[in-house]
Structure 1
Amino acid sequence: MANQMAEVSSILQEWSGVKARLEELFHERNHENTRELMQRGIDLFVQFLYFSNEKALQLDRSIPFIQFDLKPVNIEERFAFIKSRPSLFHSFRQLSELMVEQEKLFVKNNIIKKSSKPKA
């Protein structure tokens, strides 16, 4: 559990930096330079999705969204949109929202786990 929390914390911290830089680029309307950072953000979301669902990370194949218990609503459609148009501002907003929603699900799940453990 502590290792999972450390991994998630690291992912969210890196996302914070990527997000801030993307906000700058989109504010400057510098869409040409967003693709690489958006790809990093997408990779971070995928890592977060796997870690928060306690699954082994598998980047070499398609993402089996159906296997995840903790996932944002309409993740398949939203993720496909982001992947197909990574340099759009709307894709950035969707990715940001997916990260926020996944974090809320992760935190809620951890609270439920902690409260359901018998007290020693």
Structure 2
Amino acid sequence: MLEQETKFKIPSDFFHPLFFSCDANHLLKIEPDIKETLKSSPFIFDIAFISSHTDVLKPWEEQSTFFPLLMELWNDEKKELNALFKIRDRKKVKARMIKALGYYVQFLNWSNGQAVRELKNWQTSISNLNNKPINAVERLEFIIVKPDQYHSFIQLSQLFEESVKQYYKKLALRKK
């Protein structure tokens, strides 16, 4: 396992204005609680893996452990977002939507058995996934352009719901 804290440069493939800027140094901090790690450091396991840290957890290989945690985090964000939309706090909504979007991108990639490999050209990466909702790229583009709008929140909720159904369908078919 990685040391508790490791500072490293974000790979250029992860540069995306919503998540990481071009000159970002990121403190990679593995919390004792995996849920807290996922919450505080988006894409931490993917970036560590892409950066050749071979001793890092691989959530895409341990889906039964990580998916319930991601779903818990999404449900927590969803409740908070509902409350923020009621009071029309768009600034806080945007920050939480970006975090929730990160959870979704991880869920989508991990449910396809792979790490998130890039955010810069995410459209190509998502297009190449076998299991994804219909029009996933177009729907995500809408969310990314307008993350603070209620329609984006509804769209993200639907994407999560559809992806979870597809994941459990895939599991059921494997068992047969």
Same fold (TM over 0.5): yes
Matches within 5 A, 1:1-40: 3-40=62-99
Cα distance in 2 between the residues matched to 1:14 and 1:79: 19
Cα distance in 2 between the residues matched to 1:37 and 1:66: 25
1:66 to partner: Cα distance: 2.3
TM-score, length basis structure 1: 0.90
Cα distance in 2 between the residues matched to 1:10 and 1:24: 22
Question: Is residue 139–residue 155 contact of structure 2 (8 Å, CA) maintained in 1?
Answer: yes
Answering whether residue 117 of structure 2 is matched by residue 71 of structure 1, we say no
Question: Is residue 52–residue 106 contact of structure 1 (8 Å, CA) maintained in 2?
Answer: yes
Of 110, 115, 118, the match for 1:56:
115
Shift in alpha-carbon separation, 1:108–1:69, aligned structure 2, 3 A: same
| Larger fraction in helix | 1
Q: Percent identity?
A: 30
| Larger fraction in strand | 2
The total of aligned residue pairs comes to: 115
What is the match of residue 102 of structure 1?
163
What is the match of residue 93 of structure 1?
154
Give the number of the structure with larger relative contact order, counting CA–CA contacts within 8 Å between residues 6 or more apart.
Answer: 1
Alignment partner of 1:93: what SS?
helix
Question: Is residue 34–residue 87 contact of structure 1 (8 Å, CA) maintained in 2?
Answer: yes
